[in-house]
Structure 1
Amino acid sequence: MAEQKVGNPAVVGLAGFGLTTMVLQFHNVGWMGIGPVVWLGLIFGGFAQMVAGLQEMKTGNNFGYCAFTAYGCFWIALALLLIGNHYNLYVSSKSDIGWFLIAWTLFTAILWVGALRISGALALTFTLLLGGFVLLDLAHFGFPELTVVAGYELMLCAAMAWYIMAHLIFADVFGRDVLPVGKPWLRAPAAPVATLKVAGATA
């Protein structure tokens, strides 16, 4: 009996991350209010992305497991933070949110290094994400005009996340790589000659 095909949870994780990030930037550049961001942050960017991350655990993909689960929690935490500020519950000041973002910047830097070893598209996505977090950090500590700059930069990040999502979906639908994601920016070092000889002898 043929083994049943299992869907790739990354397509949902990337979809939720990309769409919620995109909508937040619509707010950051002044095109819309914060309401849709809160609800998307709770449902699509938050809950759905976190579930996708937990599904990645079953595939053995530690990068996807960590990234989707963590950023799903990020969106839920951000949405609740905004709700708390609105209803005067555990109010967070501008600098409090700034330190919250700095912590996520440091976390993102770790995943950025890992992304460099996976594909060019993912490396670009995380480079844009890391740069966006740095801009938002600065915006919360004395340079508020950078919020708009971060908004446009993170729109590119969201678009890249959707590109990788489309790469996965189209490869499945068309049976071939329609949207290439490029080679990793950081290559593994070549194995020493002695190690190769031993491996060859062992084999």
Structure 2
Amino acid sequence: MAEEKLGNPAVVGLGGFGLTTLVLQFHNVGWMPSVGPVVWLGLIFGGLAQLIAGLQEMKTGNNFGYCAFSGFGAFWIALGMVFLGNHFEVFQASTTDVGWFLVAWTLFTAILWIGALRIHGAMAFTFTTLLLGFILLDLAHFGFPELTVIAGYELMICAASAWYMMARIILNEIYGRDLLPAGRAWIK
């Protein structure tokens, strides 16, 4: 009996991560004053859909994808809840509180970044830009708020890179060839 072909959950995880990251950066650079769209995307596409993609990655045996998508899905849900808590004055978080929240996620990202360096160039680039973006946001929350805009533009590049990997998976399958290359791993 032929094995049933399943979809790759990474396309949803990368799509949700890229879209939600991009929209948050529209807010961070000042193009979109409201965080409303970020909250809803963070809860649904960046959060829930990415979390589900991570759980599906578990079934494929991909621990990196399982951890990354489940973890960042939880990140987006938590960030959406922080925004809601501040808005409704329930379990409010100060700028410094959010800074420490981001520092913890920076450390989480650093672990995944080390692994990403051995996967392929596109993954290494995405996680390098994500790690740099988190570091800039950490600094922005601890006394250098002007770095928020720089982080915003830098993280737009990260979001585009995640979408590149999503497009790579989809288009390479559709066209049956390596239409969009991933590049060599940065560390062998």
Q: What band does the TM-score fall into relative to the shorter chain?
A: over 0.9
Q: TM-score, normalised by structure 2?
A: 0.99
Distance 1:81 1:137 in 2: 16
Mark the structure with the bigger radius of gyration.
1
Q: State how far apart, in whole Å, the 2-side matches of 1:161 and 1:43 are.
A: 18
What is the rounded CA distance, in whole Å, between the counterparts of 1:77 and 1:185 in structure 2? 32
Q: Which residue of 1 aligns with 2:144?
A: 143
- Does residue 19 in structure 1 map to residue 19 in structure 2? yes
Amino acid of the structure 1 residue aligned with 2:23 = V
Residue 199 of structure 1 corresponds to none
Q: Distance in 2 between matches of 1:101 and 1:117?
A: 25
Aligned-residue CA RMSD (Å): 0.5
- Give deviations 1:155-202, integer Å, cap 9, x for gaps: 000000000001100111011110001000000xxxxxxxxxxxxxxx
Aligned residues, how many?
Answer: 187
Structure 1 residues not aligned, in runs of 5+: 188-203
Deviation at 1:80, TM superposition (A): 0.4
Equivalent positions of 1:18-167 (< 5 A) are 18-32=18-32, 33-167=34-168
Taking the aligned partners of 2:169 and 2:110, their CA distance within structure 1 comes to 24
Alignment of 1:160-175 (within 5 A): 160-175=161-176
Could you tell me which amino acid in structure 2 is paired with residue 62 of structure 1?
A: N
Question: For each residue in 1:142-162, what CA deviation from the matched residue of structure 2 results, as whole angstroms up to 9, or x when unmatched?
Answer: 100000000000000000000
Partner Cα distance (1:2, 1:122) in 2: 32
Q: Paired residue for 1:198?
A: none
Instruction: Name the TM-score, length of structure 1 as normaliser.
Output: 0.91
Are 2:18 and 1:4 equivalent residues in the alignment? no
Structure 2: gaps of 5 or more residues: none
Could you tell me which residue of structure 2 aligns to residue 195 of structure 1? Answer: none
Q: Classify the secondary structure of the residue corresponding to 1:147.
A: helix
SS for the counterpart of 1:54 is helix
Quote the residue 2:184 is aligned against.
183
Cα distance in structure 2, aligned partners of 1:12 and 1:91: 31
Deviation for aligned residue 1:3: 1.7
Distance in 2, Cα, partners of 1:131 & 1:4: 40
Moved beyond 6 Å, runs of 4+? none
In structure 2, distance between residues paired with 1:146 and 1:162: 24
CA-CA distance at 1:9 after TM superposition: 0.2
**What's the counterpart of residue 193 of structure 1?**
none
Secondary structure of the residue that 2:26 maps to in structure 1? helix
Superposed displacement of residue 116, structure 1:
0.2
Percent identity over paired residues: 72
**Residues of 1 paired with 2:108 and 2:44: CA distance?**
22
- For the residues of structure 2 that align with 1:80 and 1:121, how far apart are their CA atoms? 31
